[in-house]
Structure 1
Amino acid sequence: MNPHQRMMVKTTLIHIDFLTEQIENSIERLPQKVSVYQENIERLDSIPDIAARKDELIVTKIRTGVEK
């Protein structure tokens, strides 16, 4: 591997680390953001095979669509 390729690999890995951190931060904040929709989340939980994370994502998508 030549020096340019090493630099590109290093840059890519740094970027992946940054994106991973951003995703983790978003996941940590998600329950706070959807807490106002807890009643809806509980209703969605009553549907078989829908996990809590899916509920949060569904509510987030609905909220995003309504705000537009």
Structure 2
Amino acid sequence: MTDHLGNIESVARAICARQLAVQTDAAEVAALVERFWRVAAALLEAGLIGDDKEISHSVEQGEAAWAD
């Protein structure tokens, strides 16, 4: 495990905030990050997303990551 994954919550929150900022009003980003960062953490732990990329994956793979 690399050092940047040692604190998965902060990494997941940052990824989530970055992705949401593109499509969401800035005033809503913090609340949405609070709501969805766990999804980003599950995808990150499963290797389906990274700090700088999202790996193409199926809905089933995303659901499996969330279930773990």
Q: Which has the higher contact order (CA 8 A, sep 6+)?
A: 2
The structure that is helix-richer by fraction is 1
Larger Rg: 1
How does the TM-score come out when normalised to structure 1?
Answer: 0.28
How does the TM-score come out when normalised to structure 2?
Answer: 0.28
